Amino acid sequence: FAPKLLQGISILLTAGPTREAIDPVRYISNHSSGKMGFALARAAAEMGAKVTLVSGPVNLETPMNVNRLNVASTQEMLDAVMQQVHHSDIFIGCAAVCDYRTADIADEKIKKSATEMSLALVRNPDILATVAAHEARPFTVGFAAETQDVDHYAKDKLTRKKLDMIAANDVSDPAIGFNSDSNALKVFWQGGEHALPATDKYTLAKQLLTLIAQQMKTA
Ligand code: C5P
């Protein structure tokens, strides 16, 4: 009987979108479904890992044997991740994090008046780069959704954010990515790469986790 590939390993994942409040009834967000992150959480648990999934607002059931922490804003996601990061062997940032949040959240619903209005936005912290910069950091894996020059931008992100691995997908292809049930990935690490052709997100999750386990051994 072979031991499971991720037995005894703790994995921390982010999934889904984040949501930035404008006022008590409105927010800024994106179309992330959370499917890739939830597929990774399910596959990791089945492969024997202890899984903590920090999830933005999504319409998905928590996979079996996964500890799920629900958050809304980017700051809440960062806080949850930083509380868990110390006892994690692997961090996978799969969430579609809002790059900007509103400079102020209005206390009351904003009334319509002028024909034009503008919202002041400020940059959010980068959760993935914060984890990668942490001392005694876990094996850190990012995602890159690109519409052009996928290889170039993914490799640049790998180096710039000091990641151990990056999984890139071409979101200009409507058959794969965001709300779809299937995806294809190109995975890069320092000195290597591997293409994972289009398949369902659960199969892809198992393949990506196998690559991560292999690279952790050689790292
Ligand atoms: O730079 P870009 O947003 O394309 O990088 C995508 C990767 O960085 C994803 O893994 C995403 O989860 C992560 N990210 C993050 N915090 C942010 C922005 C992106 O963790 N504020």
Output the DSSP codes for 43-86. Answer: HHHHTT-EEEEEE-S-S-PPPTTEEEEE--SHHHHHHHHHHHGG
**Interface predicted TM-score (ipTM):** 0.96
DSSP state of 87: G
Q: Does any domain span residue 114?
A: no
Q: Does any domain span residue 170?
A: yes
Q: Is 93 annotated as a binding residue?
A: yes
CA distance 217 to 161: 21
Kindly report, residue by residue over 134-147, the tens digit of the pLDDT.
988 999 999 998 88
Q: What percent of the chain has pLDDT over 70?
A: 98
> Is the distance from CB of 36 to CB of 183 less than 8 angstroms?
yes
The residue segments making up the domain with residue 74 are 10-102+120-218
Find the helix or strand (DSSP H, E) in which 207 lies: helix 201-218
Q: Does any domain span residue 181?
A: yes
> Is the distance from CB of 54 to CB of 83 less than 8 angstroms?
no
pLDDT computed for residue 170 by the predictor: 83
pLDDT computed for residue 180 by the predictor: 80
Structurally, the chain folds into a number of domains equal to 1
Residue 134 CB neighbour total at 10 angstroms? 15
CA distance 108 to 22: 10
The residues facing 168 across adjacent strands are 144, 186
Residue nearest to atom 21 of ligand 1 (CA): 126
Confidence tier at 1 by pLDDT (50, 70, 90) = low
Give the residue carrying structure tokens 């151990």: 164
Report whether pLDDT(133) > 90: yes
Closest CA to 54 of 80, 20, 74, 73: 80
Is any atom of ligand 1 closer than 6 Å to the C-beta of 126?
Answer: yes
Q: Is 95 annotated as a binding residue?
A: yes
124 as an active site residue: the answer is no
Q: Does any domain span residue 163?
A: yes
Q: Does any domain span residue 69?
A: yes
CA distance 165 to 159: 10
The CA-based angle 112-118-120, given to 5 degrees, is 125
Q: Which atom of ligand 1 is the closest one to the Cα of 130?
A: 20
Q: Is 181 annotated as a binding residue?
A: no
> Is the distance from CB of 98 to CB of 19 less than 8 angstroms?
yes
The residues facing 102 across adjacent strands are 121
Is any atom of ligand 1 closer than 6 Å to the C-beta of 146?
Answer: no
Using most ligand atoms within 8 A of CB, pick from 128, 137, 157, 187 the residue to mutate for ligand 1. 128
pLDDT computed for residue 191 by the predictor: 92
Confidence tier at 2 by pLDDT (50, 70, 90) = low
Mean model confidence pLDDT for the chain: 94
CA distance 172 to 31: 14
Average the pLDDT over 7-16 and give the result: 97
Q: Which value, to the nearest 10 degrees, does the dihedral of the CA atoms of residues 83, 24, 59, 187 take? A: -50
Confidence tier at 4 by pLDDT (50, 70, 90) = very high
Kindly report, residue by residue over 78-125, the tens digit of the pLDDT.
999 999 999 999 999 999 999 999 999 999 999 998 899 999 999 999
Q: Does any domain span residue 112?
A: no
pLDDT computed for residue 217 by the predictor: 85
Kindly report, residue by residue over 170-200, the tens digit of the pLDDT.
888 777 766 788 889 999 999 999 999 999 9
Domain harbouring 124, CATH code: 3.40.50.10300
Q: Does any domain span residue 85?
A: yes
Q: Does any domain span residue 5?
A: no
Which one-letter amino acid corresponds to residue 99? D
pLDDT computed for residue 147 by the predictor: 87
Least confident of 15-24, 87-96, 153-162, 167-176: 167-176
